């Protein structure tokens, strides 16, 4: 049961603490409303002035050439059998991503789209790029990159184009130096950094002849191609969608959707264009080799055919084949084999001659020439792939690149290997040919009876067949090579052409408005929190009650607005008057046990330091008591720094307490004067400033003075000196029935409250109660914080708002 009660009590205290903490911030609700409104208005202005940025996306599939060579469609299978799909293969998808991100490809894209010329709307509030919708387009004929880069850095390359009064003439207003240049459309304009032509791009309605575009002027910004390329490279993102696929996605954020789409589409086009050029390089090189060999073989074939014709004419031969068919039938097999080996030997000789005549490693070797032996053909294909890879790297690097050096070494080694292999093949073919010839000689003994002319004819005919077979073979290869050129497909297959998403990626309206709302709430919260965190002054009664519970707080006095009176008058219904009435009511409960023997009460007002409002509290407390019909006298006991005189300038020269204590010639009746504030309120001023105020206050005469005044008045209010600065108040504290310890909100430091607590513990002061002066309306602990003042006019919302801080 006890545990349950403790839990309920702790829960209630926690709830109260949370409510109190919230109230500390909610009392400043006007500031939260204002900052939220300002933040939201600022957010709307930001959204209005900020150009939205959209995300543009495109996707492609990078084809794997090696996998395509093995088949796919029927046509691709046929081409593979013909050897037409050799060439550049994909080493890795990372290399292709690197190529797509290369500066060279982006420079080609910028040049193709003229992106180094930017157009902006001159009439808009925000700087909107209008891309190709500009009323006038600029064409650069020549550019000095160094001068243009300097002009761009200085802002001298930006100019405004406005139509002039004269038809076909525009004005170029240079923004940096305010120079104006009138030029005609479609005529060459010479600038220090470029030569350009301004063309009319305005669209007219055919029927009415009116302009369809509302833009009459524009700002043109000229940049170098490299500047734009570097900027776009940093924005274009190429990402691999899946590690197990070759699907790439392009992303580009831009304020102009059409421009971003053109950039991505052109970038893919430039990539495909370069890939096709690489693929066709081997085919073009093979075509040149075949044409050279066809020219040589054609001349040799003509020579053999002319010799055969002359031989038949000289020897009057008609049908030698029929006459020697029986003999030749036995040797036909050897001749066929001899012909095949001769063809292979001729091809080997041609390839060796080509390698020896072209020693440069940058040249590609003819592929698929029909040489038997998979080793040599595979080496030639690998050689061409290495050369292409080396050339691709050289397009973006130098000869000293480690990758280039490594590839050059591999190419040199492979070239030597190919040459050695061809030479071995040549040697083997010659041996085989010689062997066949020996076999043919053996058969020749069987046909020894055949006339020598027949043998000579067969020799010439054999040479003709070899040349003719080689000629037909090269013609076939040339056609196949032409087909491979015609069948070249793009390397990057477009899955989705560039398209822009509908919603901008920035600024996001909902996020900006939400951030503005949070910022509007956070700013006053942080200001209030930091202000409270750094504030070492008391502000409200809670600040005192947290430090000390031994000394009660009997009153809170409101802050006096500038221009308002700080004195209570008769029938006063102000908040100040109500606060002192509450203070007087609370004093009645504290004085109920005071032993006065029918005499008046003696109340001291003191403070820790100067400026906390002792005198202000004293005189208004006296006025409040006087308004209730009590006889009241105020004693100025601060002999060092008297302050009562400032409320009554005419009494500054009057004698007072110090004069009474110094001399026995003065009586209280002569020194206590009427006040101008109230007929029941008397003033007993401090008098002349003595050199020894502490010694005067130590006298018993001061106590006798208090006792005498208590017999004459209902309340004796004593305005004493600050306790922390001098000991005067401690010397006379025993004569008081109640001591009001005045603190001031926003002025008295919290640590000074410990001085009052220690003074009570040490017995220097007794019957002490705190009074908080100069409290803001928002910080009142009770009653007045709700704005209640009986019979008084309710202050306006603006007045209460101003008093909240």
Q: What is the pLDDT of residues 160-181, one digit of tens each?
A: 888 888 888 888 888 877 788 8
Q: What is the mean pLDDT of residues 52-63?
A: 90
Domain assignment present for residue 217? The answer is yes
pLDDT band at 484; cut points 50, 70, 90:
low
522 and 421 within one domain: no
pLDDT value of position 795: 55
769 and 666 within one domain: yes
Strand partners, 636: 719
Residue 75's domain spans which residues?
Answer: 54-264
CA distance 184 to 167: 9
Tell me which DSSP letter residue 503 carries.
Answer: S
Report residue 231 as tokens. 């900027």
pLDDT band at 236; cut points 50, 70, 90:
very high
524 and 477 within one domain: no
pLDDT band at 212; cut points 50, 70, 90:
low
Domain assignment present for residue 501? The answer is no
pLDDT band at 738; cut points 50, 70, 90:
very high
Q: What is the mean pLDDT of residues 238-244?
A: 85
Helices (H) and strands (E) in the chain, counts: 25, 20
Pick the last residue of a domain from 236, 264, 292. Answer: 264
pLDDT value of position 606: 94
Pick the last residue of a domain from 443, 472, 496. Answer: 496
Domain assignment present for residue 1? The answer is no
Assess whether pLDDT exceeds 50 at residue 86.
no
Q: What is the mean pLDDT of residues 774-793?
A: 59
Q: What are the DSSP E strand ranges found in 580-699?
A: 601-607, 632-636, 673-674, 681-684
pLDDT value of position 229: 92
Overall size of the chain counted in residues: 805
Report residue 704 as tokens. 């006798």
Which position has the token pair 């070759």? 246
Domain assignment present for residue 14? The answer is no
CA distance 385 to 14: 79
Q: What is the mean pLDDT of residues 606-610?
A: 92
Report residue 313 as tokens. 């004419």
Q: What is the mean pLDDT of residues 403-416?
A: 81
Q: What is the mean pLDDT of residues 392-408?
A: 79
Q: What is the pLDDT of residues 243-271, one digit of tens each?
A: 788 889 999 998 888 999 999 999 999 88
pLDDT value of position 83: 44
Assess whether pLDDT exceeds 60 at residue 792.
no
CB 548 within 8 A of CB 588: no
- C-alpha 41 chain-centroid distance: 22
363 and 467 within one domain: yes
Q: What is the mean pLDDT of residues 130-138?
A: 85
pLDDT band at 486; cut points 50, 70, 90:
low
Phi and psi angles of residue 540, each rounded to the nearest 5 degrees, phi first: -150, 175
pLDDT value of position 769: 93
**Residue 388 or residue 681, greater confidence:** 681
229 and 355 within one domain: no
Pick the last residue of a domain from 484, 516, 534. Answer: 534
CB 635 within 8 A of CB 668: no
Domain assignment present for residue 599? The answer is yes
Alpha-carbon dihedral of residues 576, 578, 580, 585, nearest 10 degrees?
-170
Domain assignment present for residue 9? The answer is no
pLDDT value of position 669: 87
610 and 530 within one domain: no
CA distance 546 to 757: 13
CB 111 within 8 A of CB 225: yes
CA distance 88 to 382: 10
Report residue 594 as tokens. 């005071």
Which position has the token pair 């067969």? 458
Strand partners, 494: 60
Report residue 420 as tokens. 């050695």
3-state secondary structure of 94: helix
pLDDT value of position 328: 62
N- to C-terminal Cα separation, the chain: 47
pLDDT value of position 85: 41
Phi and psi angles of residue 592, each rounded to the nearest 5 degrees, phi first: -65, -30
**Residue 373 or residue 645, greater confidence:** 645
176 and 81 within one domain: yes
524 and 456 within one domain: no
Q: What is the mean pLDDT of residues 289-296?
A: 80
CA distance 355 to 380: 11
pLDDT value of position 384: 81
Query: Residue 72, CB half-sphere, CA atoms under 13 Å: how many?
Result: 13
CA distance 578 to 630: 17
Assess whether pLDDT exceeds 90 at residue 744.
yes
Strands across the sheet containing 681-684: 553-558, 768-775, 738-744, 601-607, 715-719, 632-636, 681-684, 673-674
DSSP per-residue string spanning 530-567: HHHHH--B--SHHHHHHH-SSS-EEEEEEPPPTTS-SS
Assess whether pLDDT exceeds 90 at residue 741.
yes
**Residue 188 or residue 320, greater confidence:** 188
Q: What is the mean pLDDT of residues 531-538?
A: 84
Number of domains in the chain: 4
Instruction: List the single range of 24-28, 122-126, 610-614 with lowest mean pLDDT.
Output: 122-126
215 and 174 within one domain: yes
| Average pLDDT across the chain, whole number | 80
Query: What CA–CA distances, in Å, run from 435 to 222, 428, 438, 439, 787?
Result: 77, 11, 5, 6, 128
Integer-rounded Cα Rg, in Å, for the chain is 55
Assess whether pLDDT exceeds 60 at residue 638.
yes
Q: What is the mean pLDDT of residues 758-779?
A: 89
Which CATH number characterizes residue 582's domain?
Answer: 3.40.50.300
Which position has the token pair 């990372």? 94
**Residue 196 or residue 597, greater confidence:** 196
CA distance 355 to 376: 13
pLDDT band at 678; cut points 50, 70, 90:
confident
62 and 25 within one domain: no
Query: Percent of the chain scored above 70 by pLDDT?
Result: 82
CB 741 within 8 A of CB 771: yes
Instruction: List the single range of 253-267, 338-352, 710-724 with lowest mean pLDDT.
Output: 338-352
Nearest 5°: the CA angle 198, 203, 205 is 150
128 and 247 within one domain: yes
Tell me if the bond preceding 507 is cis, omega within 30° of 0: yes
Assess whether pLDDT exceeds 80 at residue 274.
yes
196 and 124 within one domain: yes
Report residue 527 as tokens. 């200001």
pLDDT value of position 739: 93
Assess whether pLDDT exceeds 70 at residue 537.
yes
Domain assignment present for residue 12? The answer is no
Domain assignment present for residue 4? The answer is no
Q: Name every residue whose Cβ is closer than 8 Å to that of residue 47 and which is 6 or more positions away in sequence.
A: 507, 509, 512
Q: Name every residue whose Cβ is closer than 8 Å to that of residue 87 and which is 6 or more positions away in sequence.
A: 65, 278, 279, 281, 282, 283, 384, 385, 388
**Residue 438 or residue 558, greater confidence:** 558
**Residue 673 or residue 441, greater confidence:** 673
């Amino acid at each position: 049961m006890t545990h349950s009660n403790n839990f309920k009590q702790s829960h209630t205290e926690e709830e109260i603490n949370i409510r109190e903490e919230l109230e500390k911030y909610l009392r400043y609700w006007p500031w939260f409303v204002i900052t939220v409104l300002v933040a939201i208005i600022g957010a709307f202005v930001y959204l209005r002035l900020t150009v939205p940025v959209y995300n543009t996306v495109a996707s492609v599939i990078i084809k794997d050439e090696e996998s395509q060579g093995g088949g796919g469609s029927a046509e691709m299978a046929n081409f593979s059998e013909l050897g037409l799909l050799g060439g550049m293969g994909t080493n890795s998808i990372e290399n292709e991503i690197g190529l797509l991100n290369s500066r060279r490809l982006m420079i080609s894209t910028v040049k193709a789209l003229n992106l180094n010329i930017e157009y902006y709307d001159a009439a808009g509030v925000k700087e909107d790029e209008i891309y190709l919708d500009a009323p006038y387009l600029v064409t650069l004929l020549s550019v000095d990159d160094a001068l243009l880069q300097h002009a761009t850095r200085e802002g001298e390359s930006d100019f405004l184009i406005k139509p002039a009064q004269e038809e076909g003439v525009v004005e170029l207003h240079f923004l940096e130096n305010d120079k104006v240049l009138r030029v005609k459309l479609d005529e060459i304009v010479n600038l220090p950094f470029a030569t350009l032509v301004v063309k009319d791009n305005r669209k007219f309605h055919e029927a009415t002849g009116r302009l369809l575009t509302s833009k009459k002027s524009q700002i043109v910004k000229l940049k170098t191609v490299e500047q734009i390329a570097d900027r776009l490279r940093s924005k274009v993102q190429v990402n691999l969608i899946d590690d197990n696929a070759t699907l790439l996605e392009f992303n580009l954020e831009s304020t102009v959707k059409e421009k971003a789409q053109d950039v991505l589409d052109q970038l893919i086009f430039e990539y495909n264009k370069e890939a096709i050029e690489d693929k066709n390089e081997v085919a073009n090189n093979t075509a040149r080799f075949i044409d050279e060999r066809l020219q040589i073989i054609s001349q040799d074939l003509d020579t053999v055919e002319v010799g055969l014709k002359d031989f038949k004419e000289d020897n009057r031969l008609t049908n030698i084949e029929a006459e020697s068919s029986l003999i030749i039938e036995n040797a036909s097999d050897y001749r066929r084999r001899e012909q095949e080996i001769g063809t292979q030997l001729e091809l080997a000789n041609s390839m060796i001659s080509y390698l020896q005549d072209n020693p440069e490693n940058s040249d590609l070797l003819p592929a698929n020439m029909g040489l038997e032996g998979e080793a040599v053909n595979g080496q030639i294909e690998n050689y061409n792939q290495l050369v292409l890879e080396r050339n691709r790297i050289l397009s973006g690097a130098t000869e000293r690149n480690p990758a280039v050096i490594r590839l050059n070494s591999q190419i040199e080694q492979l070239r030597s290997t190919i040459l050695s292999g061809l030479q071995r093949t040549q040697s083997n073919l010659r041996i085989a040919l010689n062997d066949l010839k020996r076999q043919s000689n053996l058969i020749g003994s069987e046909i020894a009876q055949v006339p020598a002319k027949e043998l000579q004819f067969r020799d010439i005919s054999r040479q003709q067949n070899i040349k003719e077979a080689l000629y037909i073979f090269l013609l076939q290869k040339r056609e196949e090579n032409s087909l491979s050129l015609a069948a070249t497909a793009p390397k990057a297959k477009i899955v989705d052409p560039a398209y822009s998403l509908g919603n901008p990626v920035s600024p996001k309206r909902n996020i900006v408005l939400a951030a503005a709302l949070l910022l509007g709430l956070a700013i006053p919260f942080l200001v209030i929190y930091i202000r409270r965190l750094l504030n070492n002054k008391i502000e409200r009664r809670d600040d005192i009650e947290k430090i000390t519970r031994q000394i009660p707080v009997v009153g809170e006095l409101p802050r006096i607005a500038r221009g308002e009176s700080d004195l209570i008058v008769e029938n006063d219904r102000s908040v100040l008057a109500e606060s002192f009435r509450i203070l007087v009511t609370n004093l009645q409960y504290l004085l109920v046990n005071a032993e006065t023997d029918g005499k008046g009460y003696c109340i001291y007002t003191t403070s820790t330091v100067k400026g906390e409002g002792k005198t202000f509290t004293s005189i208004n407390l006296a006025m409040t008591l006087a308004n209730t019909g009590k006889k009241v006298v105020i004693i100025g006991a601060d002999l060092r720094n008297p302050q009562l005189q400032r409320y009554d300038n005419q009494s500054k020269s009057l004698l007072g307490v110090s004069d009474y204590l110094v001399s026995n010639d003065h009586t209280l009746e002569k020194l206590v004067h009427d006040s101008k504030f109230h007929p029941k309120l008397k003033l007993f001023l401090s008098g002349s400033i003595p050199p020894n105020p502490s010694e005067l206050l130590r006298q018993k005469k001061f106590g006798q003075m208090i006792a005498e005044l208590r017999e004459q008045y209902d309340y004796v209010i004593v305005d004493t000196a600050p306790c922390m600065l001098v000991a005067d108040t401690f010397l006379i504290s025993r004569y008081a029935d109640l001591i009001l310890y005045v603190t001031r909100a926003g002025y008295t430091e919290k640590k000074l409250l410990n001085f009052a607590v220690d003074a009570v513990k040490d017995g220097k002061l007794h019957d002490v109660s705190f009074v908080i002066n100069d409290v803001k309306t928002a910080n009142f602990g009770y009653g007045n914080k709700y704005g209640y003042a009986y019979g008084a006019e309710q202050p306006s919302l603006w007045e209460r708002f101003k008093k909240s801080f």
